[in-house]
Structure formats: C-alpha cells, structure tokens
Structure 1
Amino acid sequence: MASSAVTSSQSPRPPRPNLAFRRLRGQRSPGEFAAAVRRAAREIEERVSCDARYIGRVEAGEIRCPNYAYERVFLHMFPGRTLTDLGFSPRSSVRGRGARDTDEAPPPHTTSPAYTTGETEETYETYDTQDPYGTHENHEESDVQRRAFMTGGTATVAAASLGPFGITFGAPAADRRVHRVGTSEAGALEEAVRRIRLLDDRHGADGLYRRAAAPLRTAYELLDAGTTRQTTADRLYAGAGELAISVGWLAHDSGRFEDARSHYAEALATARMSGDPALEAHAFCNTAFLARDAGRPREAVRAAQAAQRAARPLGSPRLLSLLALREAGGWAGLADRPGCEQALVRAQTLFERGPSEADPEWMTFYGEAELEGLEAQCWSTLGDWTRAARHARRAAHLQDPHFTRNIALYTAELADDLARGGRPDEAALAGLRVLDLLGEVQSSRIQTMLAGTARVLLPHRRASGVSAFLERHASLPRIT
C-alpha cells in the first residue's frame, strides 16, 4: 500500500496489539474477515482493497487509526461502536503536523489514490482503497481471476470465477473479450444459484462457503458491466440477489452469522434497486431466519412481516405459508405462545391451498417435511419437548431422501427434543442416525445441535445406547 513518509515525530515504541479488533474477527480467518470488510464497503458505496495482510497489520497494532474510508466501513459493520471501541487510538493522538483540526468531519468519497495528511504508515492508514479488483500484491483472490480480467473483460472473469461450480460460458477465457453481458452470462449466473442449492441440499454448507465467494463477486462484476437489454438486466439483478442469498445461507448454516447478515443485506439492497418484490421477500425471509438463530427474535418477527408485505402481490400461498412460519419462530423466541400459535395456524392454512405457478423456484425445499420441521423448532423454543419431538419425527419421516442435509437436521432436532424431554435412550438412537449421515453432510449448525444433545445426555452416560452415542460424538473433529 502507498503510505506517507515517516516523520521525525514518529514514536519509536513497538506497536501494541489491537485485541479488541481481534475479538471482533472471532473464528473467521483474516482472509474471510477481509472479504466481509469489502462486502460492507460495497453496501455503503465505499471502495477498500482490504486483504488478510491489512487485517494482520491492524491486529498487530501497526495501524493505530484507519483512514476515513476504512473508518466508515468499520462503523457500518459494527453500528453503535466508536473507533476506540474497535481498539483504535483517537484520531487526534496519531495525526501528524500537517493534520486538520480534530473536530473536522470525514471527507466525502474521493478517487484520490493516496489521501494523506501527514500521518505515518505506522500509525495511520492512507487512502489506498480504490482498487475494486483486488490487485494488491497480497490480496487473497486468485491470480487466475485477476489475469482473466486483464486479458478478457468481464465475461472472462465470470468464466474464471464461476469455474469452482463447473459453470462456464462455453468459450475459452482468453477468447472472450466483451464489455457488455447478455443472456448467456445471465443463464450461467442462474445455473450457479441452482448448483449451489443442489450441493447444499446434499452435503451441507461448510465445504461450500469459500467456493461460493468467487461466483458472487462475479455476479456483481456482471452488474457493473451493464447490458443493453432491460430483460437481461432484470435477470442479472435477480440472479445476483439470489446468489447473495444462497451464499448468505451457506454462511448462516456454517455459523458465520455476521457474514450471512452482510450477504442478506446485499441481496435486499439489490432487490430494492431493481424493484423486485420476489427477491425482497426472499431476502427478508432469510433475514428473519438468521435473526431467530442469532437470538434476535423481535427482529425475526419484523423481518418476516416485511417479507409478507412484499410477497402478498405475488400470488403464492406456499410462500406466504413459509413466511408465516418465519414469523412464528420469532414469536416463539419472544416466548409469546399465542402469537406463535396464530402464525402456525396461518402457515398451515396457507400451505393447504397447495402449490401454485407463482411459487418461487428457490422454494423447492418447502414441502410438508419442512413445515413439520419448522413447527418442531417453534415448540422446542417454547419448551414443549413432547410436541416438538412429534413434529420432528414426522419431518424426518416425510423428507425426500434427496435432501440429505435436511434429514440430518430434522433427526438432530428430534434427538435434542427427546433428550430434553426425558427420553435418553430414544435420543441416543436418533443421535446415532445423525452421526451416520455426517459423512455426507457438513453443517456446523447440525454439529452444534448434536453437541447440545450430548451435554444433555451426559448424566445418562451409563446407559448402553447413550454411551455409544457419546463415544462416537466425542470422536468427531471439533467445530472451528
């Protein structure tokens, strides 16, 4: 990165590690966290070429205060916090002699490649943030994608970065030199969404999340490139938004809640920009589910209600049924049993109206098994273990064998409900069935549920079935 010259006033003391910022990164790698920073920047129309090296420098204390672009992004990512809360020093304490007054507001967006005010590299990061393609020498994105962009234009980038899912545009990358995208690119984007959903249904999210990042970056490159036909533009916006939701779900299911929240917000912004109520309903639907899992039940209720407002004109009773279940989950989290029951009745009534041509393509997972499974989760949250186990058992029995991940999920829900309901032997048998499926399914969410079940069953470890489950569970690799 470019930096201002070191001044004679620079402090010789060694940097102090930024432990607060390190805690905010949590279990994500520096590269994953850098990707989240870049996504947050796009949400507020800022450009930062953040990479793993930059995150390392911040955590090591080499950057005591970020430049204004990064400041805006960090405060957007962590609303309600100040730079000091994030472990940075006050701006006034690290300014050089050429700095402005401390009460001056941050400058507006600028395209200057190096915005400097006398701060030193050791203390204050300069405005080297304008590279949207990540060409910084230590950027974690692939060299293949960068070379493709330089030689072949936007469609070539798409061909290179959709490659992890076996999707290309038919011509060799070096032969595609186009600056406007068309129906073939839109079709490839839609196919990427379908492929990700298919792989998730069979194998779960953990092994897919990192691979899905490249197609998502490509989707927004295609939007930036533009198209001459409105119908193609509409498909690109819808495809990019659906892909953001799919990648967000992979983050959600693998326990990366902040990443998921960012992806869902990106999809919602895309829906609003393109005036797409179906995409808006989908984004709010997943936001509600995430809020429930993240312990924000009131947000779950409000997001589900917003989704229903967007979905009503679409004419899909099944979609409205699913959204009512999302609302029910929020009410359950608030311990509002009447509100939950009312939403469940509405969901059942709407479901019974049957499928419709207006049902979105992404709802193929929503059948009777999912209805039962989501209701089981509501009763479990309310502490009605017997009722929860009954619905979870139905869900596992009804699920199409194609949806391996969901069978594992419903069975894990059943095991937990049985354990908490005082039926340890049955719980252990259900838990063993889940363990049998974990060779095919990689889902941190399911493993977290099993870990909770194991803790509940510990007092019953002398029972033979329980002992077998606990021993096999203990041999699982730890969730990282």
Structure 2
Amino acid sequence: MGEAARNTALEAWMNQHGYSSNSLAEAVNLAVERLTGRTGGLDGSSIRDWKAGRVRWPKAATRKALEDVSGLPAAALGFVPRGRTHSTPTSPQEDSDTMKRRSVIGGIAAAATVAAAAPHTVAPRRIGMRDVDRLQQRFAEIIARDHRHGGQRGLEQQAAALAEEALNLQNAGSATQRVRGNLYAAAAAFRSSAMWAAIDGRRYDDAKAHMREAQALAEMSGDQAIKFRIWSHAGTMYRHMGRPADALAANDVARSLHITRRDPMFASLGLARHGAIQGVAQDCVGTRRAFDQAQEAMLRADPNACRPVWMLAFYDQAELHSLALSAYLALGDYQTAEFHAHRCLSALRPHMARSRAIATTRLAHAQLAQGEADTATATAMKVAGDAATQHARVSRMLQEFGAALRATASGSPIVQTWTEHAAAWRTTA
C-alpha cells in the first residue's frame, strides 16, 4: 500500500487559526464532551495522524466535534468519506507535459475559487447574532484552556487568531450596529485573553502589543466589562513586572469605570487587585484596607447577576484569597499569607488547575520563610509536573523556592529530596 497523502487542508487551517496538535485535540475533546457528555480521547498524536493522512475520516462524534470547533464541514478540512474512490498516486515517471497540464488545471481551479468568493459575484452575507454566539462559544473554550494550563504560547496565538476572525466578520457582510458592537467586543475579548496568556507566560513585550490592540477594540465596542478586563490585566502585568506605580494607574482606570458602581463584583475584583499591588508597593495599611473593602463588596454582589463568562469562570472567594496570598507574601507577612493560601486551596473549583499550582507554590514559599523546610518541601512537591515544567510563572517560583531551600537548609536531607523530585519533573516533561 502506498504512503498516505498528507492532509494539507487541515494543516493550513490549523496554522491559520493558531492551533498546535495538542491544542486542537483539547478543543475537539471539549466539543465531544458537549455533544456526548463524555470527554473525547484525542491527544496530539491523534491530530498528527489526521495531518499525516493516516486517518482519512474520523468517527462520527469526533467529526461533528471538529466541525463545531472549526465551523467547516470535514470535507473542507481535507477529510475523505470512507468508500470514496481515490485517484491513483502520481507515478515518479509521469511525463512533464502531464504534470504541467495538472498544474494549469489546478491554477484555473484556484482562480475560480477566488472569483467565486469575490465581492462583485456573491450576494452580501448578513452577519447576525448567531455569528456572535459562535465566537462566544470559542471564547468560553479559550477561558477553559487558560484555567487548565495558562501561559502557553499556543493559547496566546489561538486567541489572537480568533480576534482576527472576529474582525474579518466586520467586512464579510452587512450587520446591525448592535452586531458590529458585539463583534468588536468579541475581538477585544480574544485579544485580552492573548494578552493574559502572554502575561502568564512572562512574555511582557508580547502582552503590551496585545494590550494596545485590545484597548482600541474595546473602545470601538463600548463594552464596559471588556474594558475593565483589559485595564485590570494591565495592572496585573505591571505588578508582575515590579512596577507598582504603573500597576496602580492602570488598575485605577478599571476601577473608575461605571460598571464597578453598577455591579459590586467588579468593584470587588478591582479592589482585590488593588490590594495585591499595594503589597508589592509595601503598603501594609493600604493592603489590608483594600482586601477588607473587596470582601465587603463581594458580599454585597448579587450572586445571580448576569456577568461575562470570564468573570464567572474565575472570580470568587478563592481568587480573592489568592490575591491576598500574593500581597501578604510580598509584604513578608508569611503567617497571614499562609492563612490565605489554605483558604484559597480549600475553595478552588476543580477546573482551576493553573490557580491551584500557583497557590500551592506560594504556600510553600510562605512555609519555608517561617522555617518549616520539611513542610514547605512536601507542599511544593504537590505541584503537578506539567505546571512545574510548562507554566513560566510556576516554574520560576519553584526555581526560587529551590534556591531559598538550599540557602536556608544547606546540608539537610530535604534538599536532596527536593533536588531529586525537581529532576524527575524535568525528565518526565
């Protein structure tokens, strides 16, 4: 049997939309779960089999899930139904005239495809809220991926590609002003997720570029919630960069938006992030005041209010404790930091894998700073291996933990235990 022909159509679509084999497998698995109630069983090697042409026609549920993710029929992605007759592969001895003729025919077909899509030959398409709903579904998938992994360059690229897809719809046909506003908001939301992935991966120059795009799109959308998200992310970015003055200025823009007066939950998030920045700025009084006010605002918020998916997916009591943990760790108040770490970890929802890894690592730092080397090391060893090796922020904090452990417990057997465990992480990564 001859070698299978590569599925170049699928490869081109993946490249255009920023999907790696692993990230597409994950997106299709989520879509399978929505369709069947059971998580799909694809991994990166499954997608590589698709691209290599070893799988020509995926199973029905998987195929439907892929079509939901891509918005295209499977045949348009290069898949061929079982039983369809394939053309005979080109012989190495095929004469050059035949090859030239096929090249010309292929060029004519490509030109015909372009002509068929030209604006002067196709009736204008009507863009509606169904298109917006489809984008919002993709945004929910981005949010879900972020909470499981976070910081991955593939996630950043996928979010940026989806922002472009939302913008392309603006020029794909006619639409009402409401629909156009929603398309700009969707593009801004995807850009803000690309920005956050870059922040989480410590790629700050990339994050700034995404931030500028996101801010412009958010202004065109007029969407207060997405404006808040972008400026709040900017405050977090500058906090991670050790620039508390800039962080406060950006976060103040978010806190000044009228959505914080309309919904106390937004006010609470703004205040909690303000407290985290105050911790970096070594303002003990300001930190405590901000978290007291953030807690009060959260208690006033209507739990049934309609909020965007990104807010519902992450901001709750656990996240408030997580931000307090970060602040008190920066202040050097390790006992209070440990208190908030335990509260955070006990309240985290199951899907918050990235947040669990960060909180666990910070707890280990707080315990080590209190002289509890054995307890701290046992805590740090609970961090999942994929987060320890693939998440830039977690990896750096664990490296700093190892350095602090060696400095404070030099010669102790626990140092050797930690060294061997960290090496095992790297080996299995």
TM-score by length of 1: 0.62
1:204 counterpart SS class? coil
Residue equivalent to 1:161: 17
Q: Which amino acid in the other structure matches residue 416 of structure 1?
A: H
Structure 1 segment 323-334 matched on structure 2, within 5 A? 323-334=270-281
The residue number in structure 2 matching 1:296 is 243
Alpha-carbon distance in structure 1 between the residues aligned to 2:260 and 2:335: 38
| 1:427 shift after superposition | 1.0
User: What are the within-5 Å matches in structure 2 for residues 151-230 of structure 1?
Assistant: 161=17, 164=24, 165=27, 166=66, 167-171=69-73, 177=117, 180=125, 181-206=127-152, 208-225=155-172, 227-230=174-177
**For 1:63-212, what aligned pairs fall within 5 Å after superposition?**
161=17, 164=24, 165=27, 166=66, 167-171=69-73, 177=117, 180=125, 181-206=127-152, 208-212=155-159
Aligned residue in 2 for 1:400: 349
Question: Please, which runs of 5 or more residues in structure 1 have no aligned partner?
Answer: 1-142, 149-156
Q: How far apart, in 1, do the equivalents of 2:219 and 2:182 lie? A: 14
CA distance, structure 2, for counterparts of residue 437 and residue 147 of structure 1: 32
Kindly provide the CA deviation profile for residues 128-183 of structure 1, in whole angstroms up to 9, marking residues without a partner as x: xxxxxxxxxxxxxxx969988xxxxxxxx9x9637744522255659995764433
Deviation at 1:327, TM superposition (A): 1.1
Which of 375, 391, 400 is the equivalent residue of 1:443? Answer: 391
Question: 2: distance between equivalents of 1:374 and 1:209?
Answer: 23
In the TM superposition, what is the alpha-carbon distance from 1:475 to its structure 2 partner? 4.7
Q: SS state of the match for residue 352, structure 1?
A: helix
* Counterpart selection for 2:360 from 411, 415, 419: 411
Instruction: Give the gaps of 5 or more residues in structure 2.
Output: 1-7, 28-65, 78-112
Shift of 1:346: 0.9
- State percent identity of aligned pairs: 29
Q: Is the 8 A contact 1:288 1:300 kept in 2?
A: yes
For 1:469, which of 412, 418, 423 is the aligned residue?
418
Displacement after TM superposition at 1:192 (Å)? 1.7
Residues 286-307 of structure 1 show CA distances to partners (whole Å, capped at 9, x for unaligned) of 1111110011111111111111
Q: CA deviation at 1:422?
A: 2.0
Asked whether the equivalents of residues 404 and 441 of structure 1 are also in contact (C-alpha less than 8 Å), the reply is: no
Letter in 1 for 2:275: A
From the superposition, tell whether residues 418 and 343 of structure 1 become closer, same or farther in structure 2 (CA, over 3 Å): same
1:371 paired to 2:273: no
Q: Which amino acid aligns with 1:333?
A: V
State how far apart, in whole Å, the 1-side matches of 2:280 and 2:240 are. Answer: 9
Report the counterpart of residue 134 of structure 1 in structure 2. none
What are the Cα deviations for residues 426-452 of structure 1, in whole angstroms up to 9, with x where unaligned? 110111001x35369831111111111
Which is further off, 313-322 or 337-346? 313-322
Aligned pairs for 1:315-354 (under 5 A) are 315-354=262-301
The Cα shift of 1:326 comes to 1.3
Q: CA deviation at 1:201?
A: 1.2
Shifted more, 411-420 versus 227-236: the winner is 227-236
In 2, the alpha carbon distance for the partners of 1:322 and 1:444 equals 24
Change (3 A) 1:224 1:440: farther
Shift of the 429–461 alpha-carbon distance from structure 1 to 2, 3 Å rule, reads: farther
Mapping for residues 198-277 of structure 1, pairs under 5 Å = 198-206=144-152, 208-225=155-172, 227-277=174-224
- For 1:234 and 1:162, the matched residues in 2 are separated by 25
Residue 357 of structure 1: aligned partner: 305
| Structure 2 CA distance for partners of 1:224 and 1:333, relative to 1, 3 Å | farther
Question: Structure 2: how far apart are the matches of 1:188 and 1:359?
Answer: 18
CA contact (8 A) 2:280 2:331 kept: yes
Q: Distance in 2 between matches of 1:442 and 1:314?
A: 39
Matched-pair contact (CA < 8 Å) for 1:202–1:441: no
Q: Confirm or deny: 8 A CA contact 2:388 2:395 kept in the other structure.
A: no
Counterparts of 1:441 and 1:197 in 2: how far apart (Å)?
A: 21
Contact 1:212/1:247, CA 8 A, preserved across alignment: yes
Q: For 1:11-50, list aligned pairs within 5 A.
A: none
After the TM superposition, which of the residue ranges 463-472 and 164-173 deviates more from structure 2? Answer: 164-173
Higher helix share: 2
**Hey, what does 1:457 align to over in structure 2?**
405
Distance in 1, Cα, partners of 2:188 & 2:393: 24
For residue 6 of structure 1, what is the aligned residue in structure 2? none
Q: CA RMSD in A?
A: 2.9
Distance 1:218 1:161 in 2: 8
Residue in structure 2 matched with residue 7 of structure 1 by the alignment: none
Secondary structure of the 1:299 match is helix
Instruction: Note the alpha carbon deviations across 1:384-436, whole angstroms, 9 max, x for none.
Output: 111111211221122122211111111011011112232211110111001x3
Question: Quick one: structure 1 residues 447 and 327, their matched pair in 2 at CA, closer, same or farther if it must change by over 3 Å?
Answer: same
TM-score, structure 2 length as denominator?
0.69
Aligned residue identity for 1:473: A
C-alpha separation between the residues in 2 aligned to 1:186 and 1:231?
10
Query: Post-superposition shift, 1:187?
Result: 2.3
Q: Which residue of 1 aligns with 2:231?
A: 284
